[in-house]
Amino acid sequence: MIAEKMTQAFQWTYNENDQEFSLHGSLRPQRADELSNCISALEQSVSNVSGMFYVNVRRLVRMNNVAFHALGCKILDLVRTRTDLKVHVTTSSVVGWATRKFAVLETMSDKITVSEYDNEFYPGQSFVEDSAFIHVLRTQTKLTWRHEKDLLAKHGLKPGMQVADICCGIGDFAVLLQKEFAPDRLVALDHSRASLDYARRVASDFGVRGIDYVFGDAADMLLEDNQFDFVTCRHSLQVFDRPERILKELFRICKPGGRVYVTNEKNSHCLGEPRGESIQWTYTEVAKLWHHFDMDIEIGPKSRRLLIEGGFEDVSIGSFMVTNTDGNPQDFADVIESWKKLFADTMATQRGDDEAFKEKFAKGFDDHIFAALHPKGYAGWPIWVASGRKPL
């Protein structure tokens, strides 16, 4: 029964540019000498370094005391024998034991520092965590769900599957999934503790059981390989500077034969009439604004290429348009109002835009709202849906 292969490989790498020695995987040796190759690699790396030497244990998932003893003593020995050297250890907030374990090194020498790494959030993060906006986020999901409910089935989601929603945000999509598709297992992961707290509260208030909300970093998940039949990641590849890295993680946790499903936007294609020109100008500016922060809000149609290049087969892509005619036009208008605040105020201010620009920028959102609420108007927000199968 325990013959299942669960031990993950252990590796190390050295990045000379960053003077950083990284340990990855699972490290539970029986004897310290099993680590001798790693320790000599570390010695070798540090021999050409002066100043700060970085030891990165963010991706070290398991470590026993044999290993910690060997590594800890080595690090201490280094700072004691080399006057020109300091060591900084970076741990992960996701690996529960790591920070406490390594923190003792700090108490042994003031030349050792330890800090916990938290993946840096994108400039819009405050928005997704702000409780004042939560109803808008929920409205957004309500609007997309009308379309996605049917699309998910077309992309292969069936009841009884093992499903993961990565970058789940406030977890409302997971709740809808749970109700509509009754997965056998549903893991919903995000790196925002505030959003997860909210998600857990909602699930418990609504009596929705069985969703496993977990804290994690989508770029380095603790989830094991080949576990899920269906992995979703919605509106999120666009908040990372290297979406292919996230896709690689989605691929890894997906079972061979399972599918990864992503939705993404191309904001410059948002549209509306009347006042089409002003709307178009503003959304083209939105794309530039995201680009300034190294994010790509135009990924939508690029999803196909990303999936194919990520090693997926049977890639399928399509799009739908959320519009003011879908239901209550005020819902659509509320969403745009919140975008105006996030883009034309928070993010534009962060970029250093002047007032005149911000005013013009905001105008296009107002015009989009005008179109949405106009009795003969039409306003749209296009979304691309793509999925691919992990080869068997």
Ligand X SMILES: C[S@@+](CC[C@H](N)C(=O)[O-])C[C@H]1O[C@@H](n2cnc3c(N)ncnc32)[C@H](O)[C@@H]1O
From candidates 73, 160, 225, 244, binder to another protein by CB under 8 A: 73
The CB-of-79 to ligand X minimum distance in angstroms stands at 31
238-267 positions binding ligand X, by CB under 6 A: 239
Residue 338 in contact with ligand X, rule: CB under 6 A: no
Instruction: Report the residue number, 99 or 192, with the smaller CB distance to ligand X.
Output: 192
Residue 96 in contact with another protein, rule: CB under 8 A: yes
Stretches 44-52, 91-99, 217-225, 315-323: which one binds ligand X (CB under 6 A)?
A: 217-225
Residue 39 in contact with another protein, rule: CB under 8 A: no
- Could you count the other beta carbons within 10 Å of the beta carbon of residue 131? 9
Secondary structure (3-state) at 286: helix
SS3 content of the chain, % helix, strand, coil (to 5): 45, 25, 25
HSE, side-chain direction, 13 A CA sphere, residue 12: 22
Distance from the Cα of residue 335 to its chain's centroid: 22
HSE, side-chain direction, 13 A CA sphere, residue 3: 1
The CB-of-2 to ligand X minimum distance in angstroms stands at 31
Residue 218 in contact with ligand X, rule: CB under 6 A: yes
Instruction: Report the residue number, 62 or 341, with the smaller CB distance to another protein.
Output: 62
Length of the chain: 392
CA 196/CA 174 separation, integer angstroms = 12
CA 126/CA 338 separation, integer angstroms = 12
- Identify which of 71, 61, 53, 54 has the alpha carbon closest to the alpha carbon of residue 92: 61
207-236 positions binding another protein, by CB under 8 A: 212-216, 222-223
Residue 32 in contact with another protein, rule: CB under 8 A: yes
Residue 9 in contact with another protein, rule: CB under 8 A: no
The CB-of-140 to another protein minimum distance in angstroms stands at 25
DSSP string, 183-222: -SEEEEEES-HHHHHHHHHHHHHTT---EEEEE-BTTB--
The CB-of-59 to another protein minimum distance in angstroms stands at 13
Which amino acid is residue 204, in one-letter code?
S
Instruction: Report the residue number, 109 or 330, with the smaller CB distance to another protein.
Output: 109
Q: Write b or e for each residue in 303-313: b if 16 or more Cβ atoms lie within 10 A of its Cβ, otherwise e.
A: bbebbeebebe
95-124 positions binding ligand X, by CB under 6 A: 119, 121
From candidates 195, 264, 267, 387, binder to ligand X by CB under 6 A: 195
Residue 296 in contact with ligand X, rule: CB under 6 A: no
Binding site for another protein (CB under 8 A): 1-4, 6-7, 26, 28, 30-32, 61-66, 68-69, 72-73, 76, 94-97, 100-101, 104, 107-108, 187, 189, 196, 200, 212-216, 222-223
